[in-house]
Amino acid sequence: MKKHIIIGPVLLILIWILVVYLHLVDAFFLPGPFTVLAKLGEALGRGIIIPDLIATLERVSVSFIVALALGLPLGLWLGYSEKIYDSIEFIIDFFRSTPATALFPLFLLIFGITDTSKIAVAAFSATLIIIFNTAHGVMHAKKSRLLAAQIMGATKLQIFRWILFWESLPQTFIGLRSAVSLSLVVIVVTEMFIGTSVGLGRRIIDAQITYEIPAMYAIILLTGIIGYLLNVFFILIEKRFLHWSGK
């Protein structure tokens, strides 16, 4: 753990305290950090927010797993067959650049007002990110190692399994990390608007509508913490399995 890691959060809270203390923003719209933290502690402690937390995490996990199961093999395959990738690169780039939330109404038409449509739209956008990064990881594999294996008489399958797959992993992991973050974003946004009574997104919008401002901040903070922890989790996996990356 880096020594200075604590400075950031402390600084953020100090600025927050200062803004509240100096009345730079109306206290009604920005309660102090301790009020918000107390609210968050209370919500978690009394368990009122736990079902929402679980619902959101479940949706994010399912959409991520679907994206992984589709995106990883497709990305590997497309990266390997560069000609096919070149011919469909536009499609991938186009949908990757389209805001996922703009597609949500379309998914609602297909899957109805269900959890499935939320998960599907998150999985869809996460899949594209995984495909894109994995394919690029394969395509930009160091040629020297490929050549070395070729000269040794490796078959295409062996080269794929023992060289390309590994070469692509660092880039693939960047994709996985972005994909899980995006899943969280899309899930929380879709929860805010349509057809659910549980989920952190739902809680945020409810708190906003009823002017329970400290509760709103508390849940926003919670989603931030989840996003951050997911990121840390992936970095830890990376450190464990990709210890060789860049060496």
78 neighbors 91 (Cβ within 8 angstroms): no
Rounded to a whole number of angstroms, the minimum distance from the CB of residue 176 to another protein is 17
- For another protein, which is the closer residue by CB, 76 or 163? 163
The rounded distance, in Å, linking the Cα atoms of 204 and 192 is 7
How many residues does the structure list for the chain?
A: 247
- For another protein, which is the closer residue by CB, 131 or 159? 159
Rounded to a whole number of angstroms, the minimum distance from the CB of residue 112 to another protein is 45
Give contact residues for another protein (rule: CB under 8 A): 142, 144-145, 147-155, 158, 162-163, 166, 169, 243-245, 247
156 neighbors 213 (Cβ within 8 angstroms): no
- For another protein, which is the closer residue by CB, 22 or 157? 157
The rounded distance, in Å, linking the Cα atoms of 247 and 244 is 6
The rounded distance, in Å, linking the Cα atoms of 72 and 66 is 10
- For another protein, which is the closer residue by CB, 124 or 165? 165
Q: Which residues have CB under 8 Å from 45's CB, separation 6+?
A: none
Token pair for residue 41? 């502690």
- For another protein, which is the closer residue by CB, 3 or 243? 243
Rounded to a whole number of angstroms, the minimum distance from the CB of residue 3 to another protein is 25
Helices (DSSP H) in 152-247: which residue ranges?
156-159, 165-193, 200-209, 213-241
How far CA 196 is from CA of 46, 190, 193, 207, in Å, comes to 22, 9, 8, 15
